[in-house]
Amino acid sequence: MFAFIISRLLQAIPVLLVVGFIAYAMFAFVGDPVTIMLGQDTTEAQRAALVHQLGLDQPFLVQYAHFMWAALHGQFGISYRLARPVSDLIFERLPATVELSLTAAVLALLVGVPMGVYTAIRRDGLLARAFMIFSLVGVSLPTFLIGILLILVFAVLLGWLPSFGRGEVVRFSHWSTGFLTISGWRSLVLPAITLGLFQMTLIMRLVRAEMLEVLRSDYIKFARARGLPERAINFGHALKNTLVPVITIVGLQIGGLLAFSIVTETVFQWPGIGLLLVQSIGVADIPVMSAYLLLVALLFVGINLIVDLLYYAVDPRLRVDRRALTGTR
Amino acid sequence: MTLLEVDGLTVEFPTRRGLLRALDQVSFSIGAGEVLGVVGESGAGKSLTGAAIIGLLEPPGRIAGGQIRLDGRRIDTPTREQLRPIRGRQIGAIFQDPLTTLNPLYSIGRQLVETIQTHLQLSDRDARARAVRWLEEVGIPAARQRIGAYPHEFSGGMRQRVVIALALCAEPRLLIADEPTTALDVSVQAQIIALLKRLTRDHGTAVMLVTHDMGVIAEAADRVAVMYAGRIAEIGPVRAVVQQPAHPYTQGLMDSIPSLQHRVGRLRQIDGAMPRLTAIPAGCAFSPRCPKVFHRCRVERPDLFDAGDTRAACWLYDA
């Protein structure tokens, strides 16, 4: 098991190198940061000095090597726009995104899985059909539209919930949390629903499809023939067998939530890393964008590792090799 | 003493092209401790009969007529949840493919204990002890050590033994074995049949043994029912049905079994094929293929008549 984790982490190194390279290569074309940073009346000499100071006069590969070498030491450079270390900027804003994404993910799982099971068991029920129609809306409506609609209804028309920001936050050294204040929770509701709705409906449809497949299987028929209670069959035997594909998708989706909550953060002016990225793209802030993409790559590598470990926990067939090696049973 | 009585059982499937009658007026009984073999071609309704008895017809299939009685108590009407305590406790079932009938994610011990505790008020420890005893009884070596093992760690034959233990661990009085050996190697088939015979004899369990293998029937059954196109063609003691079959279909079936004693140039077969359920002929369903057909067979459906030692649904035996 330990060797497996180590090997997976080693495999992550080339992935990160390639992601960094591609990101850096692309950003050479997003615009000229120097022009954006300087005023209209700067001289050519001042301009050349800034280019040299930023290292932009060096060959591309040298720039990339410098960037990766510094990144290896936890240095992501200085933001062109805000003139502050990129790592500070990201870690300042990371808690907002993490809290938003996790809330959305928990919401999606807690609602999506039971709804999927329900629609599979009561396939022809009225409520199940209503869920299916609702899920179609969730899967097909774009996130920004859902966000704007929610703002319109709950913030503008009804005035129940705030339409932007995080509300009051409580700080613990490097982490700021909105979980401890009422205004923090109130601010979280609309963005979390906006971000989680698509995942919720996706999980629901996935669980439903897998459940329908499993409920037709011989071992479910045999469990019925042995007189096991319906509840034990549906939630014990059937649901567990749907978990492997569901874990795969959910893992990727949670990675996606953390990495690409950009649209939701923009709609709700949520002070997370997604909003930071959007603002940075506008002014070609290359260090921030590169660091962001590296972080996302690292995140996906980590999540995939966790997903693989969960497979082992769920499916005994995957554990067999290890057992044979160690001779335990 | 009669344990199970099936009386005029009719099963229908509503489809877009009308009602399919998959079982038509099927009647038979099984005595306590008796082994009834059920044979017939694919689609004759053998497995469906078993599914109807245990209350596991796949929707939209439904019992459209007749009665099923266990100990004189009707078990064809209650809903699924009312039937649940009967399944496993009164009637057990074994299916064809042992590779797919065990839940791959739970250890066999857990599946056994769960089944035992569903039907018997036993503590975890007692249920576990009972599970080990059943594994020993079906011939799993080192049962105590193997109880935590998962289905994929067993071979096909061993898995079918586990399936048998699961079906019998609450000691039902009737076992419906649906093609229990079809998916197994020939060498393992005989072992499984011998095991089933021994266990059901020891525990006094009656068996409805569904198969298309006449060899298995001859080996294990007391009586045999021959099914054709959703109806019973002939039913009687296994010796009589095998040696002096009365119904022309049964005769054809026996003739088509190759024998080592008599050299024949060519295997005999019954001309034609079983009719589809959408196009069952009026009168006797076998009449289009029957070598002894006469006018009445084509217009009127025969009941079961006494025919020597067996009973056959054939106008030849109308007294």
3 state DSSP class of A114? helix
Say which range, A14-23, A191-200, B109-118, B147-156, has the weakest mean pLDDT. Answer: A14-23
Number of C-beta neighbours around residue A177 at 10 A: 16
Query: With contacts defined as CB-CB under 8 Å, which chain A residues touch B108?
Result: none
pLDDT tier at B292, thresholds 50, 70, 90: confident
Which of the pair, A322 or A165, is modelled with greater confidence? A165
Where residue A328 falls (left for φ over 0; alpha for ψ -120 to 50; beta otherwise) is: beta
Query: What SS3 class is residue A49?
Result: helix
- Judge whether B230 lies within some domain: no
- Interface ipTM: 0.86
Q: How many CB atoms lie within 10 A of CB A285?
A: 29
Burial of A191 (0-12, 13-18, 19+ CB in 10 A): buried
Q: Is residue B312 part of a domain?
A: yes
* Nearest CB neighbour to A317, from listed B88, B102, B152: B152
Query: Which percentage of chain A shows pLDDT scores above 90?
Result: 4
Q: Is residue B280 part of a domain?
A: yes
For residue A114, the enclosing domain spans: 86-326
By C-alpha distance, which of A155, A196, A167, A163 is closest to A96?
A167
- Whether A272 maps to a domain, the answer reads yes
At a CB cut-off of 8 Å and minimum separation 6, what does B172 contact? B88, B89, B90, B91, B92, B205
Which residue of A221, A226, A315 is the best one to mutate when testing the B interface, meaning the one whose CB has the most B CBs within 10 A? A226
Is there a domain that residue A81 lies in? no
Cβ within 8 Å, pair B115-A226: yes
The beta-carbon neighbor of A226 closest among B87, B100, B149 is: B87
Closest chain A residue to B147 measured between Cα atoms?
A329
Cβ-Cβ contacts under 8 Å, A320 against chain B: 152-153
How many Cβ atoms are within 10 Å of B194's Cβ, its own excluded?
13
Residue B216 Cα, gap to closest chain A Cα (Å): 23
Task: Look at strands B305-307 and B18-31 and give their pairing.
Answer: unpaired
Taking CB atoms and an 8 Å limit, are B100 and A225 in contact across chains? no
| The predicted structure's pLDDT at residue A328 | 42
Please tell me which residue, B225 or A76, carries the higher pLDDT value: B225
| Residue A218: closest C-alpha in chain B | B101
Looking at residue A93, what is its pLDDT? 86
Domain-embedded: residue B143: no
pLDDT value for B262: 67
Residue B287 lies in a domain: yes
Per residue in A263-318, pLDDT tens? 888 888 888 888 888 888 887 788 888 888 888 888 888 888 888 888 888 888 77
Is pLDDT above 90 for A243? Answer: no
Q: Which residue has the tokens 């995104």?
A: A97
Classify residue B212: in a domain, yes or no.
Answer: no
Which chain B residue is nearest to residue A244, measuring alpha carbons?
B105
Looking at residue A325, its pLDDT comes to 46
Closest-CA residue of A relative to B57 is A221
Q: Name the band, by pLDDT with cuts 50, 70 and 90, for residue A26.
A: confident
Rounded to the nearest angstrom, the minimum Cα separation between A329 and chain B is 8
3-state class of A175 per DSSP? strand
In this structure, what are the phi and psi dihedrals at residue B154, rounded to the nearest 5 degrees?
-115, 155
Distance CA A44, CA A271 (A): 37
CB-CB: which of B54, B100, B106 is closest to A225? B54
Q: How many domains does chain B have?
A: 1
Q: Which of A219, A226, A240 sits opposite B100 (nearest CB)?
A: A219
What mean pLDDT comes out for the span A150-165?
83
DSSP assignment of A271-293 equals -SHHHHHHHHHHTT-HHHHHHHH
Q: Give the nearest chain B residue to A313 (CA atoms).
A: B105
What is the tally of structural domains in chain A? 1
Identify the three-state secondary structure at position A309: helix
Asked if B167 and A314 come within 8 Å (Cβ–Cβ), the reply is no
DSSP per-residue letters across A121-155: HTTT-HHHHHHHHHHHHHHHS-HHHHHHHHIIIII
Q: Give residue B290's domain range.
A: 243-258+269-319
Q: Which residue from B minimizes the CA distance to A230?
A: B81
The CATH number linked to A144 is: 1.10.3720.10
> What confidence score (pLDDT) does residue B78 get?
67
SS3 A101: helix
In terms of pLDDT, which residue wins out, B236 or A165?
A: B236
What is the percentage of chain B residues whose pLDDT exceeds 70? 96
Q: Chain A contacts of B114, Cβ < 8 Å?
A: 228, 232
The candidate with the shortest Cα–Cα distance to A150, out of A258, A267, A259, is A267
Residue A147 lies in a domain: yes
Disruptive mutation site among B54, B96, B101, B164 for chain A (greatest number of A CBs within 10 Å): B101
Kindly report the three-state secondary structure assignment for every residue of chain B. Answer: CEEEEEEEEEEEEEECCEEEEEEEEEEEEEECCCEEEEECCCCCCHHHHHHHHHCCCCCCCEEEEEEEEECCEECCCCCHHHHCCCECCCEEEECCCCCCCCCCCCCHHHHHHHHHHHHCCCCHHHHHHHHHHHHHHCCCCCHHHHCCCCHHHCCHHHHHHHHHHHHHCCCCCEEEEECCCCCCCHHHHHHHHHHHHHHHHHHCCEEEEECCCHHHHHHHCCEEEEEECCEEEEEEEHHHHHHCCCCHHHHHHHHCCCCCCCCCCCCCCCCCCCCCHHHCCCCCCCHHHCCCCCHHHHHCCCCCEEECCEEECCHHHCC
> How far away is chain A from the Cα of B106, in angstroms, using its nearest Cα?
8
Check A237 against B106: CB less than 8 A apart: yes
Rounded to an integer, what distance in angstroms lies between the CA atom of residue A217 and that of residue A234? 12
Instruction: Point out the residue among A221, A230, A232 whose CB comes nearest to the CB of B81.
Output: A230
Average pLDDT of every residue of chain B:
87
* Cβ–Cβ < 8 Å for B211, B217: yes
How many residue contacts between A and B have a Cβ separation below 8 Å?
A: 84
Cβ neighbours of residue B288 closer than 8 Å, sequence gap 6 or more: B272, B275, B281
Q: How many other CB atoms are found less than 10 A from the CB of residue B254?
A: 17
> How does pLDDT run across A39-70, given as a tens digit for each residue?
777 778 888 887 787 777 777 788 888 878 88
The answer to whether A228 contacts B150, with C-beta atoms less than 8 Å apart, is no
B133-159 pLDDT tens trace: 999 988 888 888 888 899 998 988 889
Q: Is residue B293, in this structure, part of any structural domain at all?
A: yes
The answer to whether A218 contacts B95, with C-beta atoms less than 8 Å apart, is yes
User: For residue A52, is it within any domain?
Assistant: no
Domain membership flag for residue A3: no
What confidence tier does B216 reach under pLDDT thresholds 50, 70, 90? confident
Domain for residue A222, yes or no? yes
Let me know if residue A29 belongs to a domain.
no
